[in-house]
Amino acid sequence: MANHKSAEKRNSQSQVRRLRNRVNKTRMKNAVKAVDAAIDAGLQEDAQTALQIAIPVIAKTASKGTIHKKNASRKVSRLTRRVNKMQAAA
């Protein structure tokens, strides 16, 4: 429990940031899941559309500081590679 005014403020700020990060991370995870579901179902156009939606969501999550920018880059790269591999196989 915070005993000083500055510690109380720091705790309050941390809670606000935690909730904001949680919203951003959940939004990103749902976008990635949409791409994964389209890939698993073998729907090429849906996967491409979901990827085009997911890329800005992942970038925004990184720009807000919720995830590291290299983590975001890695996620985008892996998703893109999976979509391209599925399209090449078809």
Domain span holding position 62: 5-89
CA distance 65 to 63: 5
Q: Which tens digit of pLDDT belongs to each residue from 46-81?
A: 999 999 999 999 999 999 999 999 999 999 999 999
What pTM was estimated for this model as a whole?
0.89
The per-residue pLDDT for range 37-53, each reduced to its tens digit, is 999 999 999 999 999 99
Query: How far, in Å, CA of 81 to CA of 79, rounded?
Result: 5
In the chain, the number of structural domains is 1
> Burial, 55: exposed, middle or buried (Cβ in 10 Å; 0-12, 13-18, 19+)?
middle
User: Mutual orientation of helices 5-41 and 69-89 as an angle, nearest 10°?
Assistant: 10
For residue 63, what is the domain's CATH number?
Answer: 1.20.58.110
